[in-house]
Amino acid sequence: MTHLKTDILIIGAGSGGLSVAAGAVQMGADVVLLEGHKMGGDCLNYGCVPSKALIASGKTAHRQRHAAAFGVADAAGTADYAAAKDHVADVIAQIAPVDSEERFEGLGVNVIREFGHFISPNQVKAGDTVITARRIVIATGSSPLVPPIPGLDKVPFVTNETLFDLREKPEHLLIIGGGPIGVEMAQAHRRLGSKVTVIEGAKALGKDDPELAKVVLDSLREEGVVIEENAVACQIGGKPGAIDVTTEDGRSISGSHLLMAVGRKTNTDSLNLDAAGIRATDKGIKVDDALRTTNRRVYAIGDAAGGLQFTHVAGYHAGVIIRALLFALPSKAKTAHIPWVTYTDPELAQVGLTEAQARKEHGDKLEVVRFPYAHNDRAIAERQTKGFIKVMVVRARPVGVSIVGYQAGELINLWALALANKMKMSQIAAMVAPYPTIGEVNKRAAGAYFSPRLFESPVVKRIVGLVQRFVP
C-alpha cells in the first residue's frame, strides 16, 4: 500500500476538477488528482463537445437543403451518419490533449487513474494508494438518470454516454425527455435524416420562459420533429429496431431506437461519504455558500454540489474555491449571474430571472423591454429574423435577460457581464456596436428601455422646445 500526503486532493478530472488542479498547482500547491474513467469527464467525452459537434453536422445538412433564399441552389443535404460521428470523434480528439493526463502531469499534478473513496475525514483510498490531504475537492460530476420504467430493462436504449458510439443512423429515434439534451439531439438527428419523436411527461423546455420556448419548439415541429407533451411513459416494450412506448393516457409511440434524456444524477454513491462525515441529499452533496461540505476540509463543486448542472458552472466553482484553498480568503458562489443556453436552432439563452420570476420577486417595480431580430439589419441579411430579446429591468438595472434567436448564446455573454457587475441599462446603451452585427440586438434592447423616457416624455419635449427657442 502506498501512502501519500498532499495539500489538495481532487476527486474527478472533469471540467471543475481540472480547473482546480491547473490553478492550484501553478500557484505552488501540491496537488493529487484522481480519475478512474476518462480525463475531461462528461463534457469532453459525452456532453457539451460531442453534442455540439453533432449539432454542427445537422446544421450543415440543413443549410444545404435551404440555400435557395441566398441565390444558391438547394442541395440534397444527405448526411452520412457514420461520417458525422467521425467528425464528432475528431473534434473530441482535437480538444482531448488540453485535458490529458500528460498535460497535467507536465504541470506538476500527481495524476492517479483510479476511483477514490473516503476512509476517514481527510483520507481517500484509490486502488493501492491512500492519500491524506489538507483539503479535498469532490468534482465527480453527474451521470444520466435512467428511471425505473417497466420494460426498460428488456429493450436496448442509449443515453448521452452511449449515443455517440452509435454508427448506424436511427430510422426513427424516440427520445424520452424534452429538456435541453432531448430537444438538441432531436433537432440534430432530424436534420441528419432520422424521424424523431420527443416524449415529455410535462412541458418540453419547461424550465425556460414559455414564450421563448414556444419559438424553439415551433421551429422543431416545422422541421418534422414530433413532440408529445404531457406524455408520461409508463411501459416500454418491443425488441431491437422496434421499440414501443406507452404513456399513462394511453398513447402508443413506436420507433427504432430509444434515447433516455430525462435528467442527471450526481456521482456520489461510491464515495463512502459517511466515512468523511459528509451529508448528501437526493440532489447532490450538501454545501454552504462557500461550497464547503459538512466536513470543513472538503469542498464539492460542479454537478456534485447539486445545483446548476453546466460545465461553465463547474469552472466558476473552481475559481470560487481556489481563493479559499490557496489564500484562505472568503469566497462565495452565487447564481444570479450564471447564464445557460440550449443549442437548438434558434438558440435559447437565459441569464438571471425569467419574466415570471422577476414579476414574482419585484412586482410593479419590474419593466420588461423587448427587441425583435426582425428589426436587426444583419439578421435580415442572414435570413435569421426569427426570435427576440426580452430584458427584465428593475430601477434601471437588468435583473434577467431571455433571448431566443440566432447566436443567442453569444449575445447572452454581454448580459452575464452586466448582471455580474451590477451594470445599469445606461451603460449598455452607451456601448457602440459595429454595424451591421447581430450584437446590435443588445444595444437596441437597451435603447428600447430609454425610448419612451426620451421620445414620449412631455418634460423632455418642453426642454427641447425651450432650448430651441432661447439658446442662440
Span 368-382, pLDDT tens digits: 999 999 999 999 999
Q: State how far the Cα of 107 lies from the Cα of 233, in Å rounded to an integer.
A: 49
For the chain, what are the domain ranges?
2-39+100-144+265-327, 152-262, 339-455
CATH H-level, domain 152-262: superfamily: FAD/NAD(P)-binding domain (3.50.50.60)
DSSP 353: -
Beta-sheet pairing, 172-176 with 142-144 = unpaired
The whole-number pLDDT of residue 464 equals 74
Give which of 134, 126, 100, 130 is closest to 24, Cα–Cα.
134
Residues 343 and 323: their CA atoms lie apart, in Å, by 32
Phi, psi for residue 107 in degrees, rounded to 5: -75, -15
The answer to whether 2-39+100-144+265-327 and 152-262 have equal CATH topology is yes
pLDDT score of 315 more than 80 = yes
Dihedral sign for Cα atoms in the order 179, 350, 52, 49:
negative
CATH architecture of 339-455: 2-Layer Sandwich (3.30)
Contact 65, 74 (CB under 8 A): yes
Query: Residues of the chain with pLDDT > 90: what percent?
Result: 93
The reply to whether CATH 3.40.190.10 applies to domain 2-39+100-144+265-327 is: no
Which residues contact residue 420 at a Cβ distance below 8 angstroms, ignoring those fewer than 6 apart? 337
Can you say how many angstroms the Cα of residue 91 is from the centroid of all Cα atoms in its chain?
A: 19
Average pLDDT over residues 91-112: 97
As a whole number of angstroms, the distance between CA 84 and CA 164 comes to 10
What is the rounded distance in angstroms from the CA atom of residue 403 to the CA atom of residue 116?
A: 41
Give dist(CA 166, CA 175) in Å, integer: 15
pLDDT number for residue 235:
97
The per-residue pLDDT for range 249-260, each reduced to its tens digit, is 999 999 999 999
> Are the CB atoms for 380 and 410 separated by under 8 Å?
no
Residue 454 reports pLDDT greater than 70: no
